[in-house]
A and B are shown apart, each in its own frame.
Chain A
Amino acid sequence: MKFLKKFLFGESEQEVIKLFDEHFELVKMSCEVFLMALETDDKGLLNQVCELEKRGDKIRREIALKLYSGAFLPALRGTLYKLAETVDEILDMLEDTAIDYLRLNLHLDNEIREMCIRVAKINVKMGRDLLEAFRALKTGKGLENTTLKIRTREREIDVLRNRIYESLIKKEVKNYWEGKILSDFIDHLAYISDLIEDSADLIQILNVSLR
């Protein structure tokens, strides 16, 4: 019976799809928690972002194991694994950003902070869009609108990142390390959107493969 279930309904494949669903949920949740942490300066929430990254890592490993145990046709496996890795990188980047913010002692100049919150808000929307794109891939609905939204939001973040730097260079920093951590924080925060965009591209590649 177990063999039949595995053979006819693709038990391993269903498990991989479920794991991906969880992975994308984690990205969405992690973006939301990070935004809340930034808005409330709550250390506990920042630690929660780090915890979510660990869960993401576990999911990526499980996906890899299932794919290499034979789930899906080989023509899909490479792209699916690359997708799992990229989604995991989003969670890594969120963790890095959270750690940078902890290193900054939860302190940001008001003008910079406001723009960073705007970036984090867009990241939240992109996280939701990414989940929507994956669900569209699952159901076979059109992806174009969702991926277009993701690309537009990513460009919005690029513009914001440049504006943050324009403001940043006018500010005084106490020492090299404060400047470096601040710069890393902004780069990491903005890079989250690039990774979300990369994941959306992979979803689009998956959608046209095998056709």
Chain B
Amino acid sequence: MLSELAAAIISFSLGSNNTSNAFGIPVGCGILSFRTALVLIGIFVTIGSLHRKVMETVGSLTNLNKTLAVVVLVISATMIIFSNWKKLPVSSHQVIVGSIVGAGFAVGIVRFKILIPIVVSWFVSPIGAMFLSIVIYSIIEKFISAYSIFVVERFLFFFLIFSGILVAYNTGANELASALAPLVYSKLMSPLEASLLGSISFFVGALLMGGRVIETVGKNITVLDPLSGFSAQFSAGLTVFFFTNIGMPVSTTYSLVGGIVGVGILKGINSVKFSLIKKILAAWVLAPTTSFLLTYLIVRGW
């Protein structure tokens, strides 16, 4: 029961924080109402959560039994609640992976053949999104110069929504799947049951807290023009989609930051907020390390 509750808390937290990744720009721009965004996120996160590849990778990092799954999920949920409270930009899947690896080390089973590609994908995904956003921005900029402004407006309208849907799907297939992996691979729940629990908790999180986060992201992101916003989001969406399909758990938020940095570099290096990037980098290193150490120490001391 404790592990299901912890997984539900993580999914709830994903719903409250990650709704803005998918629909922060369209809702902030007034293209979609929050209600429509909620419906879309509910549908596509659920569809995404049925995707098994990332779940399989995360669940196979070690031999998870029921006790280990409870420890991993409780520590991860506690860390995520703490980081939300302290407003730290922590990625939940990094916390979960760090925690599973910590548990694996404690019991002496860690599959490095799986762990190494995961860590490499953590490096590659934001950098990939950064380069992809530069390419996407340049191509679209060239493409739209031949069309009327009203055609360009329609193009951006559709692609902002499409991009939001892609990110919503990725959230279900990648970040939510990472959170549910310990439940499924310790045989506490079937994949379908875990997917239902995760999707419902995610939706409740989005419903109760997503609006507030969307408002913040939407207001902050309006400094980006629609083309830059779209290029950053779409490149992040494509990057995470690619990694999801090869079964690698990567962060949409970090890929989105990579995408924004890419557009920022293209438009002039001064527009990139390096202080914020430093803070994100610190969290990027500290989150998996802390969850790794905490779980390792607790499991060893048990």
Residues of A at the B interface (CB closer than 8 Å) are 10, 13, 17, 70, 72-76, 137-140, 206-207, 209-211
Contacts and interface: CB of A to CB of B under 8 A. Distances in A.
B174 to A, nearest CB: 28
Nearest to A9: B154
Given A10-B157, A75-B225, A70 B149 contact: no
Secondary structure type dominating chain A contacts: helix
Contact of B226 (A70, A73, A206): A73
Interface stretch (B70-78, B140-148, B199-207): B140-148
Given A73-B29, A211-B141, A211-B149, 15 more contacts: A72-B153, A73-B31, A74-B29, A74-B222, A76-B149, A76-B153, A139-B148, A140-B148, A140-B151, A209-B149, A210-B144, A210-B149, A210-B156, A210-B227, A211-B227
A137 B147 CA distance: 9
Contacts of B145: 211
Interface of B: 29-31, 141, 144-154, 156-157, 222, 225-227
Secondary structure type dominating chain B contacts: helix
A75 B226 contact: yes
Contacts of A211: 141, 144-145, 149, 152, 227
User: Which of B144, B148, B156 has the most chain A CB atoms closer than 10 A to its own CB?
Assistant: B148
A73 B152 CA distance: 10
Contacts of A13: 150, 153-154
A12 B157 CA distance: 13
Contacts of A206: 149
A140 B151 CA distance: 9
A206 B149 CA distance: 7
B154 A137 contact: no
Contacts of B153: 13, 72-73, 76, 210
A138 B154 contact: no
User: Which of B147, B150, B152 has the most chain A CB atoms closer than 10 A to its own CB?
Assistant: B150
B87 to A, nearest CB: 27
Nearest to B26: A73
A210 B146 contact: no
Contacts of A10: 154, 157
B148 A137 contact: yes
Given A70-B30, A73-B226, A75-B225, A210 B152 contact: yes
A11 B170 CA distance: 31
9 contacts: A13-B150, A13-B153, A72-B153, A73-B157, A76-B149, A207-B149, A210-B152, A210-B225, A211-B149
A140 B31 CA distance: 23
Question: 6 closest A-B pairs (Cβ-Cβ)?
Answer: A140-B148, A75-B226, A140-B147, A74-B30, A74-B29, A210-B152
A206 B148 CA distance: 10
Contact of B150 (A17, A70, A74, A75): A17
Contacts of B141: 211
Given A73-B29, A75-B226, A211-B144, A137 B157 contact: no
Contacts of A210: 144, 149, 152-153, 156, 225-227
A44 B219 CA distance: 53
A206 B151 CA distance: 12
B36 to A, nearest CB: 10
A23 to B, nearest CB: 16
A124 to B, nearest CB: 26
Contacts of B29: 73-75
B160 to A, nearest CB: 8
Contacts of A70: 30-31
A6 B141 CA distance: 26
A199 to B, nearest CB: 15
A10 B157 CA distance: 10
A134 to B, nearest CB: 11
A207 B147 CA distance: 10
A60 B96 CA distance: 56
Contacts of A138: 148, 150
A32 B93 CA distance: 68
Contacts of A72: 153
Contacts of B30: 70, 74
